[in-house]
Amino acid sequence: MSMVGECREEEGGAVSEEGEKQFTLINDDLFVKIGPRGHSIGKTFEEITLGDLKQIAICYDDDGINFIQMVYEQDGKLTLGGRHGGSVWVGDNFDSITLEQDEYLTSINGGYTQFERKKAIKSLKFTTNKKTYGPFGRKEALPFCFNFYFGSGSVCGFHGRSNGNYLVAIGVYINILSPRPQIKQVKP
């Protein structure tokens, strides 16, 4: 067993001191787990290797992010990811982000409650190589930022926790060996 940072290697990946996998090898692709940020309560979700991120749906109100849901593209087919957060529509606002063919996430900023009774991710902002979407929700919270703008690699999934009404923690999976989405040039 060899050490990688503060992780120990195990078959199929590395595990943090808390026992959580920090990176995983699947079909010769290396996936790095970043986060989550938020609270340690709620039901855990893991969504990985569903393809290139194409769309994010987000529902929110003044108390927090009610849910997020992603659409991925793999081999020309769209796949709807799970709904992460509340199980019913409880938010006042609904927005959808659709990424262009050559657009990819470079960072996610947000905030979560620290001392309030309602534990929730309060706001999310998504930045791509082309523009910024959001913030969605209220920015008055303990801030966090995932910045994954490096060489090659792409967001290939999300993980975190949710309770019955809100998203309470969020993190991402990055495929560090995959190329970023590229526009295919068509010659006349």
Mean pLDDT of the chain: 78
Tell me which of 115 and 155 has the higher pLDDT: 155
Q: Residues 6 or more apart from 99 whose CB is under 8 A from it?
A: 53, 54, 55, 105, 128
Q: Using one digit for the tens of pLDDT, what is the confidence trace for 25-44?
A: 566 667 788 889 999 899 99
Structure confidence at residue 124 (pLDDT): 96
Do 163 and 119 touch, CB atoms closer than 8 A?
Answer: yes
Could you count the other beta carbons within 10 Å of the beta carbon of residue 110? Answer: 26
Q: How far apart are CA 9 and CA 98, in angstroms?
A: 37
Q: What percent of the chain has pLDDT over 90?
A: 37
Give the per-residue pLDDT at 31.
78
pLDDT at 8 over 60: no
The label of the residue with tokens 């190329």 reads: 179
Average pLDDT (80-108) is: 87
pLDDT bracket for residue 62 (50, 70, 90): confident
State the burial class of residue 155 (Cβ atoms within 10 Å of its Cβ: 0-12, 13-18, 19+).
buried
